[in-house]
Structure 1
Amino acid sequence: MIGLRPGEQQPAPADLAVLELLAVPLAAALHATDLSRQLQLSRERIVAAREEERRRIRRDLHDGLGPTLAGAAFQADAVRNLLAFDPERAAGLLVELRAEIGGAVGEIRRLWTDCGRRTSTSWGSSAPCANARHGCPSSGRAWHGACSAS
């Protein structure tokens, strides 16, 4: 807070000189404080977005891919049980099993593609996807179920 001394109508020249010396560093400090606050808010938004993305991936895996793979496992057991007694029916179940597994692969590709879209549209918001995506579907290379960081 800046004020005049009792009885003064305007600041003394020495006071003005001190104020001029302090103005630039004070403005820089205030600006740096504001930038620091903005950076902290941005980091908090990124962390919140990452957590939301993790929850979404977990939900997609639990509600979609998990039951599909469990069903495929049961179907494989049924095929094994039928092989000795009814090979024709077992062959039919294998065709269904192959289609179910193809659907699961499609679901995995959809999840990876969604991760690519989220990663490219909002930098930093999709760390689980971004960290696992090197060399995967959105890179333009064929994906065969395994990813490794380059």
Structure 2
Amino acid sequence: MRSSYAFRLRMQALFLNIFCASCIRVENGKELVEKKKTGRPPIYSKEIADKVLSFVAKGLTYDRAAEAVGISGETIDTWKRRKPEFDRALKRARRELEVNCLSSIHEAGAKSWQARAWLCERVFGYAQPSARLEVAGAVAHAHAASPALAQLLAGM
């Protein structure tokens, strides 16, 4: 019959080999040694992230900001998923841009009613109806010349 202590040690070693193989390995059943990381080094750095945030705060889209620093838009999406603090910082930069733009419109609205009207159209949906008129059916309208015009045309 197995001793429960030895069995438990073997189970722990098996667990470490299976579930923690990416970060540690077991040598001789006793010693835990950290594994070296393999693969491509990460692109993410504080400097690149700060540049992206700066461009987003100035009004660039995420893709354009990524292009400006030499990375792809998919990289930004990956960073947003893997680094929640970066995602929050991007959202904060967008909100600050929005607030700054709205503040500028409010300041311009003191001098020009068009700025306030533009803001109301976008924020509250006060858009003017389209000037185009679409007719679904046939239009039947006969034009008749007035008698005076008919005489004038006949004399030509």
TM-score by length of 2: 0.29
Higher helix share: 1
TM-score by length of 1: 0.30
Considering only CA atoms, is the larger Rg found in Structure 1 or Structure 2?
2
Higher strand share: 2
